[in-house]
């Protein structure tokens, strides 16, 4: 079955893309949960954080590097923000392609729902 995030990277499904590179893409969440809600994803299909290992260290660094860049660009870096990775059904993961949620622009609560 086609992966919706792979389709967005390929340009076959529209997305509000805010960052592109050979290894990482970022776009706005279709159902934003905060004034800033961006998804940062590896271009390579990785089903979930459960698949990450030591050989992915550079890619993980890149995902956070892009998240930092976008947090600054979105103007949320100083006030603070949240990075979320949902894993599996109980974690609330609904799309089977690894993604960081970058959420900001409002006060977050804890514990998460
Ligand atoms: P998660 O529940 O952690 O797997 O997050 C998946 C997110 O992806 C969810 O917040 C909604 C978003 N999403 C799902 N389909 C699309 C889509 O086609 N385009 C965009 N931009 N976001 C999507």
Ligand 1 proximity of 25 Cβ (cutoff 6 Å): no
For the segment 6-37, what is each residue's pLDDT rounded down to a tens digit? 999 999 999 999 999 999 999 999 999 999 99
Name the DSSP letter for residue 14.
-
Domains of the chain are 4-104 (3.30.428.10)
Ligand 1 proximity of 94 Cβ (cutoff 6 Å): yes
Q: What is the mean pLDDT of the chain?
A: 97
Name the catalytic one among 37, 45, 97, 99.
99
To 5 degrees, how large is the angle CA 60–CA 48–CA 87? 110
- pTM score of the predicted model: 0.98
Among this protein's residues, is 99 annotated catalytic? yes
Residue ranges in 1-113 assigned as alpha helix (H): 4-10, 57-73, 88-91
Which runs of E-coded beta strand occur in the chain?
Answer: 17-20, 24-28, 36-42, 81-84, 100-104
For the segment 73-100, what is each residue's pLDDT rounded down to a tens digit? 999 999 999 999 999 999 999 999 999 9
CA of 58 to the centre of ligand 1 (A): 24
């Amino acid at each position: 079955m086609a992966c919706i995030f792979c389709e967005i990277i390929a340009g076959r499904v529209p997305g509000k893309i805010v960052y592109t590179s050979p290894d990482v893409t970022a776009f706005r969440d279709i159902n934003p949960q905060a004034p800033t809600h961006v998804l940062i994803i590896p271009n390579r299909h990785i089903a979930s954080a459960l698949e990450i290992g030591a050989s992915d260290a550079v890619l993980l660094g890149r995902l956070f590097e892009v998240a930092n860049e976008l947090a600054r660009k979105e103007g949320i870096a100083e006030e603070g923000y949240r990075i979320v990775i949902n894993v599996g059904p109980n974690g609330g993961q609904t799309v089977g392609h690894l993604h960081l949620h970058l959420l900001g622009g409002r006060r977050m609560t804890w514990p998460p729902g």
